[in-house]
Structure 1
């Protein structure tokens, strides 16, 4: 294929669940999906998944892997915490013209395009980000131990904590807390489960909480109100103002809508695109900047 250098760009969006690789050639996008790619928790495994994705895309576009690795690229991956990790990944993949960051910028650009606004991403984990005249600011995303407020795992963990307080008789006992105690064989079972549960396992409890909140369970409503309060406060600290777009992305984010102010609810917009489309847009910026 004889495309000019800047008409072919490479993009990667990878996280703890999956890795997506895309190549855009003269406006046509080719993509492939592989397994989990978090370079902090499993560097070699993540590199293997990225390589597999690039190999698959290489075959689709009929451009050699070595040639693709020389093209302008944006690599957005969970676990890229600093420049050292980015340099290690650049060397491992033998990239020559790539911007390597964590997976948040691609999510912002995909959701907002170039418009000003705020994204609140609440999946298994969480983060918020603002974009103003192309400049991004981020908050959160520090993981299940130190952060990820309003995420699905946070909701599950809060619900278990409330169930234990209800058992102690110091907080309200509701249908939700009684169900959690019964399902997990009492407080000892909750403690055993929480001691070994992954964020995904804690997050799996979130649908029971959101359903209970919709049914008027006061404990569940309290959890959702607290999460919505975090989203609202953090968004405003990042510069959100009335009239700016607000995108709620991730599996549980939309569940907070009824608990936000009417002003914020009226600002909610569907995301313009996916993180992978954002990664492709950022790859084109790399091409225009220095490749």
Structure 2
């Protein structure tokens, strides 16, 4: 351990509530917090996904640090010297994590994808599982302190049951009604009207950002709540993806489940009774999980 890392670790041992910096970045929001789990200052920025837009994610993080410093009336140099944990969407492995570390000015930082802070925030230290459905999606199980994940591979190849997946599926299914491969419904007709026909849907989807397509998900949820057949079929398909993924990870009856992300809770009515019976509210938001992981990291004194 370096002298600097040793000093940080000793300081954290002697002051367990010492302030840390935590960043939780996803396809819609990037939250940056300074302090502790119990007492912190927070700023909320735009999207941060290093796979779909690396430079944009870096700029979002840097802009958020500057905004947080202004809020705290703290010099940027002081904030970037703090122990820092970053959990951000699109970190697909060690190479991407190293690339992000190199692009940012933090001197003592751990980088992962955005799944560990979501799981830690939702469950704390207890055993359980999460199905996280926001702009993207992933699944996680925590048993005996060990975390196991699936999904989170991005909107091109994965993110089943996510906002993007649901919005894209709605547009695709609507085009199938034009081809008469599906029966038209009030919901499909409303999407055709919204985009001025099939050509408009294709034009929009060709150029839309992931979060723009994900913005259609609430329309699917609303239509399903009104028993629109097409919207109901889409919500049921998403619930099936959740069920299959959690089962593959090892979820079993008796293990609590948290539905997280802006869309997660919307799947509750469509899940099997065994899963519904174990649904519990998340203990805390992912940014709190990120703060907890930042504190763990600082105590370890990792260089």
Q: State the TM-score, normalizing by the size of structure 1.
A: 0.88
Determine if contact 1:5/1:71 at 8 Å carries over to the other structure: no
Q: C-alpha displacement at 1:57, in angstroms? A: 4.4
What whole-Å deviation, never above 9, does each CA across 1:165-214 have from its counterpart, x for those lacking one? Answer: 22222322222222223333332232222222222222222222222222
Q: C-alpha displacement at 1:25, in angstroms? A: 6.0
Determine if contact 1:111/1:119 at 8 Å carries over to the other structure: yes
| Cα 1:272–1:55 shift into 2, 3 Å | same
| Cα 1:171–1:246 shift into 2, 3 Å | same
Determine if contact 2:136/2:162 at 8 Å carries over to the other structure: yes
Tell me the equivalent position of 2:23: 12
Tell me the equivalent position of 1:238: 249
User: Any idea what SS the aligned residue of 1:180 has?
Assistant: helix
Within the alignment, does 1:128 sit opposite 2:139 as a pair? yes
Q: C-alpha displacement at 1:60, in angstroms? A: 6.2
Q: C-alpha displacement at 1:111, in angstroms? A: 0.9
Tell me the equivalent position of 2:155: 144
Within the alignment, does 1:101 sit opposite 2:107 as a pair? no
Q: Distance in 1 between matches of 2:214 and 2:114?
A: 20
User: Any idea what SS the aligned residue of 1:143 has?
Assistant: coil
User: Any idea what SS the aligned residue of 1:252 has?
Assistant: helix
Query: Mapping of 1:112-191 within 5 angstroms?
Result: 112-191=123-202
Q: C-alpha displacement at 1:14, in angstroms? A: 2.1
User: Any idea what SS the aligned residue of 1:251 has?
Assistant: helix
Q: Distance in 1 between matches of 2:222 and 2:73?
A: 49
Gapped regions of structure 1 (runs ≥ 5): none
What whole-Å deviation, never above 9, does each CA across 1:211-258 have from its counterpart, x for those lacking one? Answer: 222222222111111110110110111111112111111222211111
Q: How many residues align?
A: 289
Gapped regions of structure 2 (runs ≥ 5): 1-7, 13-17
Determine if contact 2:23/2:31 at 8 Å carries over to the other structure: yes
Q: State the TM-score, normalizing by the size of structure 2.
A: 0.85
Tell me the equivalent position of 1:86: 97
Within the alignment, does 1:199 sit opposite 2:205 as a pair? no
TM-align CA RMSD: 2.5
Tell me the equivalent position of 1:290: 301
Query: Mapping of 1:259-270 within 5 angstroms?
Result: 259-270=270-281
Q: Distance in 2 between matches of 1:289 and 1:65?
A: 24
Q: Distance in 1 between matches of 2:124 and 2:180?
A: 50
